[in-house]
Structure 1
Amino acid sequence: MDCTSHKLYHIHDFDSRDILDTYFSDKSEMVFGEETLKFPMEKFHNIFSAGHIKGEVLFDISFGSFIHHLYSTCGFFKQISVLRFNEKCIMELNKWLHRRTGAFVWDHASTYIKEMEGKSDQCQDKEIMLKMAIKQIVKCDIEKENLTDSVVLPQADCVISAWLLDVLSKDQDDYLRNLKKLTRLLKPRGHLILLGCLNATYFTAGQDRFHILKYDENYLRKVLTGEGFIIDHCDILRRKAVSDLADYEAIVFITAYKEK
């Protein structure tokens, strides 16, 4: 489908809190919990607890203002920088980070990570650890070759990008261009972790539909290997949610390292 029939995440206005309520909350009507909450948290927990991905610096450059996927990272990286393209998402993240009134409550995600780790007495400590590890929230510009422009950042040992390339990229060529920009943030042999939707065309925010780039697993593997990445893990969860708010067929979680 032509992306011009839908709004674009980084250009058009949308309610960042509505995104959290619709796709990441614990509300009874939120039907995406298995795919947007539990699956990502399980995959990140498994990958990082294995001990193969760790280092000094991690960048999270993702869609929206969710943080639940980062709970498993803070014990393996000393410095986490959160990079976002949308000003409202940055405001929402700062509310949570600085414990401001009206911040989104992630208790349901904290409970789930507690269950996975079997550490019922460390639920609150995990969130405190994550907040301490996040050193800065940086505004990005996808139109620039250097995404952070005037902000000088060190190269990262790991870059996480959840659903961002899907919503930013107008077509597959654009996906490749945006991927190249992300990979410039990585050290040699640094790890890239992507979370995305397969064969999707839109998601709903408020009353509007927003563009998602349609691609399949073969395309994702091809574009990563073409950029010199070695894929070391890929897992796919077929859609279970019944809703017309988004039309993806599956969620993909893939890790790869930069060969040179």
Structure 2
Amino acid sequence: MDSSPHKLYHKHDFDSRQCLEDYFSDKPDMAFGDDTLTFLIDSFREVFAVGHINGDILIDLSLGSIIHHLYSASEFFKNIIVLKVNNRCIMELKRWVDERTGAFYWGHTSTFHKEKEENSDQFQDQETKVRSAIQHVVKYDLEKENMTEPLVLPPADCVISVWLLDVISKTQDDYIRYLRKFSRLLNPGGHIILIGSLGATYFTVGKDKFHVFTCDEDFVSKALVGEGFIIDYCNVRERTAVSKIANFEAIICIAAHKEK
């Protein structure tokens, strides 16, 4: 058994393209497609279907260079600011936004989202809509008081974070501290939507093994409440496959709003 410490997503080299290929592609042998693709799209459709999460500005802090979680969000927010921790993630995302040669193919997720829509005949190309909505892609530093220094971001109506708190937190205190940083990006009464893994310990990208913070649903819920949030939605699903590339028990999607 490998006894070496796992790498940290935000401190060690992270191959964002390999992550997309391993967990978010249309390859038939991809182990966790139902968890990383279907669950995300379904959960975000449900969260936004209620209709009370909307506004001018949405800030996204998510793992790697994923975009499919923003399909539903782009229906309710015209301006999306994406924060990324390293240059490789930024370059990969901008390659897709600018429709450059070699950009990662997201057509399979766009088709899946379209099939879920009741009025699919009137469905606008969701990838085009997300591209138009992404106004800025900004690098951030978790250890700075203002993560995007010297840039000061406008307050957001919603913050989305997909699998990020899991991979940047080593302890419960880390998780709460970073959650607090994310919540400071919000307007009073703003919303936060989190996707995370429960009972997780690691995930691999290529030959690299990365740390994942181990927690349960109770901890995530209490962390949000402790930071002044009221929980509006929570969906937990056990993993649908077993593979050595990642170890986790379930996935959680939880949405909450900040008390004014």
Q: Deviations over 1:187-221 (max 9, x none)?
A: 11100000000010100011111000001111111
Q: Deviations over 1:108-158 (max 9, x none)?
A: 001011001144455662211111111010101011121111112110000
Q: Where does residue 98 of structure 2 map in the other structure?
A: 98
Matched ranges for 1:10-21 at <5 A: 10-21=10-21
Q: Where does residue 201 of structure 1 map in the other structure?
A: 201
Runs (4+) of structure 1 exceeding 3 A deviation are 118-124
Structure 2: which amino acid aligns with 1:186?
L
Q: Where does residue 63 of structure 1 map in the other structure?
A: 63
Give identity over the alignment, percent: 57
Structure 1: which amino acid aligns with 2:76?
F
Q: Where does residue 259 of structure 1 map in the other structure?
A: 259
The whole-number CA distance in structure 1 between the counterparts of 2:185 and 2:158 is 9
Instruction: Please report the TM-score for the alignment, with normalisation by the length of structure 1.
Output: 0.96
Q: Where does residue 233 of structure 2 map in the other structure?
A: 233
Matched ranges for 1:45-194 at <5 A: 45-121=45-121, 125-194=125-194
**8 Å CA contact retained: 1:40, 1:69:** yes
Structure 1: which amino acid aligns with 2:206?
G
SS class of match (2:92): helix
What's the Cα RMSD here? 1.4
Q: Give the paired residue count.
A: 258
Post-superposition offset of 1:49: 2.2
The whole-number CA distance in structure 2 between the counterparts of 1:193 and 1:72 is 12
Matched ranges for 1:26-41 at <5 A: 26-41=26-41
- Which segment is superposed worse, 229-238 or 41-50? 41-50
SS class of match (2:100): coil
- Unaligned runs of at least 5 residues, structure 1: none
Instruction: Please report the TM-score for the alignment, with normalisation by the length of structure 2.
Output: 0.96
